[in-house]
Structure formats: structure tokens, C-alpha cells
Amino acid sequence: MTSRLRGELTVHEDPAALSAVTRSLRLAGHPVVLVPTMGALHAGHRALIRAARAIPSGRTVVSIYLNPLQFGSRHDLDRYPRSFDADLAMCREEGVELVFAPSVATMSPPGGDTTGDTTVSPGALGAQLEGASRAGHFAAVLTVVATLFGIVAPDRALFGEKDYQQLVLVQRMVADLQMGVQVLGVPTARDADGLALSSRNIYLDAEARGAAVALSAALSAGAKAGGQGHDAVLAAAGEVLARQPAVALDYLALRNPQLGPAPAQGPARLLLAATVGTTRLIDNVGLQLSAGSNGRGAP
Ligand code: PAF
């Protein structure tokens, strides 16, 4: 059995069976909308699913696949939360039609293990920001996303803006390789105090959870300083982070929306990564920059 009917929701494990269903949906005039996930679904995923379900006459496929290759260590992979039954319950509540939940064996090359000879290179951006601390991460992400696109052949795919670098790299891959998938970003879902929702937040103990608010607070302070220029943005965000000793900053970077060098003025993206307690968190915000007197800094 490669698929099971669970209420209104069909769960497919077999790529060929899922491909056949999405092909017939497209032929019947339904845009196929993919929401790729690694499971452990939370309110951020719910927002992605709702955005997918809002696409007129679309049919939503949620993929649940914990890609072993994108984890830096066996320890990180082993401790990643798994909640398959709750994930299916959320999909059902949200009216999702199809879940694709393949095994590692079915996502691996025929006769092989999880490592195929063919991979997608993310280019220079893949080694910056998140890629600087997580060697091979984005090649593993793009390879699995390309594989999912090959199986599902979606018309559209939705990714959260929380993983902003991932979103940009997927958009670039789709453009460079002419994959014909419309890749859309969905704004980050946040707790009431601003913390970006993440499957990894469950690792935060009470003290770390309190300290983690500094990340979104720093981004807000940086965004507010956009009118004073590039250096003022970094200074304002840096000041907030410096006041919270439990936050070990990895990077704080101001870039353009495609993650090239930040402009003197216009739209920009402020991104950061930090370890809080034992948990590495990332977050980012969009902002508008105005040039200071030196073209970059404060007036
Ligand atoms: O963002 C994620 O959950 C993963 O990186 C993705 C896109 C599902 C690929 O494994």
C-alpha cells in the first residue's frame, strides 16, 4: 500500500502515485500548490497552508519529509521534533487534500543510500550567512526541493520568510534552472512577544525563551533606524543584542532583498542568527533604508 485515505486527506508515500494524482489535478484545471515541510507543524506552517488553500481552484500538497542531508550532525537530526499524527491532524483541520510523506529510502537514488551523485549547487550565496556556519546545508535543501518539485510538479510552492535565505535560493534555483514553478514567500508568524515561530523553539527552556525575544526586538530596532541609514540600522540592532548576555550572536547582516550588498537607500533585509541556550535561532525583517551623509551611515 503506497497511499491511505484518512478522512478527506490522502497520504501518499510513493512518489509515482503522488505524481499521477497531481498530473490528473493539473489536467482537470487545478493549480497544484506545494507546501514543503519537515513536519513538526506549528502555527507558521498553518499560515503557509492557509495561503496555499486561498489560491483559487488550487489543490494543496503538504510534503512532510525530514531531509537527513540538511542536518549538520546526527545529533541535530535525532533531536529534531517529530509529530506525524498531529501534523496530519493540522492538515485535515485546514482542509488539505494531499500529504506526501515519503520514506528516506524512496527519496534516495535507486539502489543508493541518501546520497545521490547529482546535487544542486546553491552558488556563492550558499556559503554566506547560514551557509557559512552550516557547510553543505543549502546544497542539501535545494537538492531535496528540486526532487520534490520533480515529483509533485507544482504550479506554485510556498515557503516561509523566516528562512529568508532559503526562500531566495529556491527562487534563484527555479529561475536559473527554468523550473517553471512560482515560488512565493509567506510572512513570518510570530508569538505575541515577537519571537518567530520555529519547530526548534521547543528546545528553549524558560530562561532561554525569555532571552530569545531579543532577536525580534533587535530586528525591530534596526528596522526603525532605517531612515538614518545603513550603519544606524546595525548599531540599533546590535545595541539590543548586546544587552542580552544569554544571546550568542553568530551574524547580524544588512543586505538587499536578493541578499546581495545592501543599497544606500531603498528596500533591504536585516538578518541574524544567534545561539540562545543550546538552540540556534534565525530571524529577519524587511526595511527601507535612507542614505545618511556618507551614503551609508547616519546623517
Ligand atoms: O524549510 C524547511 O522546512 C526545509 O528546509 C524544506 C524546504 C522542507 C526542505 O527540506
Cα-Cα-Cα-Cα torsion 238, 243, 246, 248, nearest 10 degrees, comes to 20
Tell which one of 64, 67, 197 to mutate to probe ligand 1, the residue whose CB is within 8 A of the most ligand atoms: 67
The yes-or-no verdict on residue 296 having pLDDT over 70 is no
Average pLDDT over residues 6-21: 90
- Reply yes or no on whether the pLDDT at 253 is more than 50: yes
Q: What is the pLDDT of residue 173?
A: 98
- Which of 34, 35, 38, 114 best tests ligand 1's pocket when mutated (most atoms within 8 Å of CB)? 38
pLDDT for 266: 98
Q: What pTM was computed for the model? A: 0.94
39-43, 72-76, 227-231: lowest mean pLDDT where?
72-76
Q: How confident is the model at residue 115 (pLDDT cuts 50, 70, 90)?
A: low
Which residues have CB under 6 Å of ligand 1? 36-38, 67, 70, 141, 144-145, 163, 166
Q: What is the mean pLDDT of residues 40-56?
A: 98
Taking CA atoms, 271 is separated from 118, 166, 274, in Å, by: 31, 12, 10
Radius of gyration over every alpha carbon of the chain, rounded to an integer in angstroms: 20
Q: Whose CA is nearest to atom 8 of ligand 1?
A: 37
Go through the domains of the chain in sequence order and give each one's CATH number.
3-186 (3.40.50.620), 199-289 (3.30.1300.10)
% pLDDT > 90, the chain: 91
Report how far ligand 1's centroid is from the alpha carbon of 206 (Å): 27
Q: What is the rounded average pLDDT of the residues 23-42?
A: 98
User: Span 100-110, mean pLDDT?
Assistant: 90
Q: Which residue has the cell 533531536?
A: 79
Average pLDDT over residues 75-83: 95
Q: What is the pLDDT of residue 111?
A: 60
Atom 2 of ligand 1: nearest residue by CA position: 37
Query: pLDDT at residue 215 above 80?
Result: yes
**Ligand 1 centroid to residue 292 C-alpha, Å:** 38
Cell of 13: 508515500
What are 248's strand-pairing partners?
275
Strand partners, 32: 59
Tell me what pLDDT residue 8 has: 83
Residue located nearest, by CA, to atom 9 of ligand 1: 141
**Binning pLDDT at 50, 70 and 90, where does residue 190 land?**
very high
Report how far residue 177's alpha carbon sits from residue 155's, in angstroms, rounded to the nearest whole number: 15
Is residue 293 pLDDT above 60, yes or no?
A: no
Query: Is the predicted pLDDT of residue 5 greater than 60, yes or no?
Result: no
* From 70, 119, 120, 158, mutation site for ligand 1 pocket: most ligand atoms within 8 A of C-beta: 70
pLDDT, average across residues 247-254: 98
Calculate how far, in angstroms, residue 38's C-alpha sits from the geometric centre of ligand 1.
Answer: 6
Catalytic residue list:
45
